[in-house]
Amino acid sequence: MQPLAHPKIQTLPDFLAKKAAFPPGYRLVFTNGCYDILHPGHVDLLARARAEGDGLLLGLNSDASVRRIKGSLAGPPRPVNPQAERAFVLAGLAAVDFVVLFDEDTPLELIRAVRPQVLVKGGDWDVSRIIGRDVVEADGGRVLSLPLLPGYSTTGLIERLTRQGA
């Protein structure tokens, strides 16, 4: 199997070098997540997040991070798909301009480093609970909690697959 490389998948230093060349007024949108099994709810949220600015940076939880925060549910251990595969699939989406992996349990350090103008999470996150809100708002940016497409979640998908396999 050959390595999964894509020009949208960046290390943090490489992304910061690209960001330094952004034109004045460029509105960087940031969102993050595990994106373990991509589903229509993810694609919808990412497209709407991207519409909030000039480019979308997706902070992707590393495998170690996903294991710590998701653990093992009733189904298979998480993540189901390894970080290289998750990053490659996400980089293939038109709405996603950059993918940067992070190893921490939260994206706070990544948000502090990239200083986005817009921070987006799904509607299951109240704006007051969105990690990095203080950083973005202190820089004059916006923090949004966008409604989720009803009926789609990775946990629900795994539970459904587990029931069907039982």
Q: For residue 39, how many other CB atoms are within 10 A of its CB?
A: 16
Residue 74 in this model has a pLDDT that exceeds 60: no
Contact 76, 140 (CB under 8 A): no
**Extents of the domains making up the chain:** 26-165
Q: Which residues contact 151 (CB under 8 A, 6 or more apart)?
A: 41
Q: Give the 3-state secondary structure of residue 119.
A: strand
Secondary structure E strands in 14-150: 28-33, 55-61, 98-102, 118-122, 142-146
pLDDT category, 73, cuts 50, 70, 90? low
| 161/105: higher pLDDT | 105
Predicted local confidence at residue 2, as pLDDT: 58
Share of the chain above pLDDT 90, in %: 75
Q: Which residue has the higher pLDDT, 15 or 123?
A: 15
Contact by Cβ (8 Å): 63, 70: no
Torsions phi, psi for 76 (to 5 deg): -70, 160
Cα 148 to the center of its chain, rounded Å: 14
Say if residue 164's pLDDT is above 90. no
Adjacent-strand bridge partners of 60: 33, 101
Mean pLDDT over 29-37 rounds to 94
* Confidence check: pLDDT of 138 > 60: yes
Task: Please give the CATH architecture assigned to the domain spanning 26-165.
Answer: 3-Layer(aba) Sandwich (3.40)
Query: How confident is the model at residue 61, as a pLDDT?
Result: 97
Contact 32, 42 (CB under 8 A): no
Alpha-carbon gap, residue 143 to 140, rounded angstroms: 10
